[in-house]
Structure 1
Amino acid sequence: MTVVAGASAAQAGPRQTVDPTDPDLGPNVTVFGPETPQSEIQATMDALHEQQVDAEMSTDRYAVLFEPGTYGSAADPLQFGVGYYTEVAGLGQAPDDVTIEGAIEVRNRCLADGGTSNCIALVNFWRTISNLALDVNTTGQGGCEATTNFWAVSQAVSMRRLDVRGPLSLMDYCSAGPQYASGGFIADSRFDTTLVNGSQQQWLTRNSVLGGGWSNGVWNQVFSGVTGAPSEAAFPTEPYTTLETTPVSREKPYLFVDDQGRYNVRVPAAQTETSGVSWDEGTTEGRTLSIADFYIAKPGDSVQTINNELARGKNLLLTPGVYDIDRSIDVKRADTVVLGIGHATLTAVGGAVPLTVADTSGVVVAGISIDAGSVESPALLRVGKAKGNNHKSDAANPVTLSDVYFRVGGPHIGKTDVALEVNSDDVLIDHTWVWRGDHGVEGFTEGVNGDTERWATNTGRNGVVVNGDRVTATGLFVEHFQEHNTIWNGEDGTVVLYQNELPYDPPTQEDWNQPDGTQGWAGYKVADDVERHSLFGAGVYVFNQNNPEIVTENGFTVPEAPGVRLHHIMTVNLSAGTIEHVVNGVGDAVPPSTSGAPEYVVDYPAP
Structure 2
Amino acid sequence: MSTERARPLDRLLHPRAPRRPRLAVWTALLVVPAAMIAPLTAAQAAEATHVPAGASTVSSKAATSSDADGGQVHRTFAAGAPATSNTPDFGPNVTIFDPSMSSSDIQSTLDSVFNTQQSNQFGTQRNALLFKPGTYNVSANIGFNTQIAGLGLSPDDVQINGGVTSDAQWNGGNATENFWREAENFAVTPSSGTDTWAVSQGASMRRVDVNGSLKLDPTNDGWSSGGFLSDSRISGTVSSGSQQQWMSRNDNWGGWTGSNWNMVFVGDPNAPAQSFPTPPYTTVGQTPVQREKPFPYIDSSGDYHVFVPATQTNTSGATWLNGTAAGTSLPMSDFYVTQPTDTAETMNAALAAGENLLITPGVYHLDQTLKATSANQIILGMGMATLVPDNGVTAISTGDVDGVQVAGLIVDAGSTKSTDLIDMGPSGASADHSSDPQSIEDVYFRVGGATAGSTTNALVVNANDTIGDNLWIWRADHGNGVGWTSNTADTGLIVNGADVTMYGLAVEHFQKTEVLWNGNGGKTYFFQNENPYDPPDQASWMDGSTDGYPAYEVAAGVTSHQAYGVGSYCYFNVNPAIVNDHAFQAPAVSGVQFHDLTTVSLGGVGTISHVINETGDAVNSTTQNVYLPSFP
Same fold (TM over 0.5): yes
1:582 to 602, 605, 611: 611
The one-letter amino acid paired with 1:436 is R
Q: TM-score, normalised by structure 2?
A: 0.87
Shift of residue 106, structure 1, vs aligned partner: 1.0
Pair 1:416 & 2:455 matched:
yes
**Rounded Cα–Cα distance in structure 1 between residues aligned with 2:163 and 2:578:** 45
2:176 to 122, 133, 148: 122
Shift of residue 327, structure 1, vs aligned partner: 1.2
Superposed, 1:445-524 pairs within 5 Å as 454-515=483-544, 517-524=545-552
Pair 1:264 & 2:305 matched:
yes
2:50 maps to none
1:570 maps to 598
2:126 maps to 61
Shift of residue 311, structure 1, vs aligned partner: 1.4
1:36 to 82, 86, 101: 101
**Rounded Cα–Cα distance in structure 1 between residues aligned with 2:584 and 2:543:** 14
Contact 1:245–1:274 (CA<8 Å) still a contact in 2?
A: yes
**Rounded Cα–Cα distance in structure 1 between residues aligned with 2:139 and 2:350:** 40
The one-letter amino acid paired with 1:231 is A
DSSP 3-state at the match of 1:416:
coil
Superposed, 1:337-352 pairs within 5 Å as 337-352=378-393
DSSP 3-state at the match of 2:540:
helix
**Rounded Cα–Cα distance in structure 2 between residues aligned with 1:350 and 1:14:** 28
Shift of residue 375, structure 1, vs aligned partner: 0.7
Pair 1:241 & 2:270 matched:
no
The one-letter amino acid paired with 1:471 is V
Aligned-pair Cα RMSD in Å: 1.5
1:545 to 553, 559, 573: 573
**Rounded Cα–Cα distance in structure 2 between residues aligned with 1:215 and 1:407:** 32
2:152 maps to 92
**Rounded Cα–Cα distance in structure 2 between residues aligned with 1:379 and 1:406:** 11
The one-letter amino acid paired with 2:112 is A
Contact 1:5–1:26 (CA<8 Å) still a contact in 2?
A: no
How far does the alpha carbon of each residue in 1:34-67 deviate from its partner, in whole angstroms, 9 at most, with x for none? 1010000000000110100000010111100000
Shift of residue 92, structure 1, vs aligned partner: 0.4
**Rounded Cα–Cα distance in structure 1 between residues aligned with 2:339 and 2:33:** 16
2:115 maps to 50
Unpaired runs of 5+ in structure 2? Answer: 1-30, 37-78
DSSP 3-state at the match of 2:225:
coil
1:24 maps to 89
Contact 1:63–1:86 (CA<8 Å) still a contact in 2?
A: yes
1:601 maps to 628
Contact 2:91–2:340 (CA<8 Å) still a contact in 1?
A: no
Shift of residue 301, structure 1, vs aligned partner: 1.4
**Rounded Cα–Cα distance in structure 2 between residues aligned with 1:407 and 1:536:** 25
How far does the alpha carbon of each residue in 1:449-497 deviate from its partner, in whole angstroms, 9 at most, with x for none? xxxxx01010000000000100000111100000011000000000000
Contact 1:371–1:414 (CA<8 Å) still a contact in 2?
A: yes
How far does the alpha carbon of each residue in 1:370-428 deviate from its partner, in whole angstroms, 9 at most, with x for none? 11011110000011222x25x23311210000101100000211100000001111100
Go from structure 1 to structure 2 and tell me whether the alpha carbon gap of 1:346 and 1:14 turns closer, same or farther (over 3 Å shift). farther
Shift of residue 601, structure 1, vs aligned partner: 0.7
1:164 maps to 210
Superposed, 1:268-307 pairs within 5 Å as 268-307=309-348
Pair 1:432 & 2:459 matched:
no
2:260 maps to 218
DSSP 3-state at the match of 1:298:
coil
The one-letter amino acid paired with 1:124 is N
Shift of residue 17, structure 1, vs aligned partner: 3.0
Q: TM-score, normalised by structure 1?
A: 0.90
**Rounded Cα–Cα distance in structure 2 between residues aligned with 1:310 and 1:242:** 40
Shift of residue 518, structure 1, vs aligned partner: 0.4
Unpaired runs of 5+ in structure 1? Answer: 7-12, 73-77, 112-117, 139-146, 445-453
Shift of residue 277, structure 1, vs aligned partner: 0.7
Superposed, 1:56-205 pairs within 5 Å as 56-72=121-137, 78-111=138-171, 118-138=172-192, 148-174=194-220, 179-205=222-248
The one-letter amino acid paired with 1:227 is P
**Rounded Cα–Cα distance in structure 1 between residues aligned with 2:273 and 2:627:** 17
How far does the alpha carbon of each residue in 1:483-541 deviate from its partner, in whole angstroms, 9 at most, with x for none? 011000000000000000000000000111112x1011011100011000000000000
**Rounded Cα–Cα distance in structure 2 between residues aligned with 1:14 and 1:505:** 50
2:377 maps to 336
Shift of residue 306, structure 1, vs aligned partner: 1.2
The one-letter amino acid paired with 1:180 is W
Contact 2:473–2:507 (CA<8 Å) still a contact in 1?
A: yes
2:359 maps to 318
Shift of residue 235, structure 1, vs aligned partner: 1.8
Contact 1:246–1:275 (CA<8 Å) still a contact in 2?
A: yes
**Rounded Cα–Cα distance in structure 1 between residues aligned with 2:528 and 2:186:** 28
Contact 1:401–1:430 (CA<8 Å) still a contact in 2?
A: yes
Shift of residue 15, structure 1, vs aligned partner: 4.9
Shift of residue 30, structure 1, vs aligned partner: 0.3
DSSP 3-state at the match of 1:505:
coil
The one-letter amino acid paired with 2:156 is D
How far does the alpha carbon of each residue in 1:197-247 deviate from its partner, in whole angstroms, 9 at most, with x for none? 00111111001102x211111100100000110001x32111110000011
DSSP 3-state at the match of 2:602:
strand
Shift of residue 300, structure 1, vs aligned partner: 2.5
1:380 maps to 421
Shift of residue 4, structure 1, vs aligned partner: 2.0
**Rounded Cα–Cα distance in structure 1 between residues aligned with 2:177 and 2:155:** 28
The one-letter amino acid paired with 1:218 is N
Query: RCO higher in 1 or 2 (8 Å CA, sep ≥ 6)?
Result: 2
The one-letter amino acid paired with 1:18 is T
Shift of residue 173, structure 1, vs aligned partner: 3.6
1:526 to 554, 571, 582: 554
DSSP 3-state at the match of 2:484:
helix
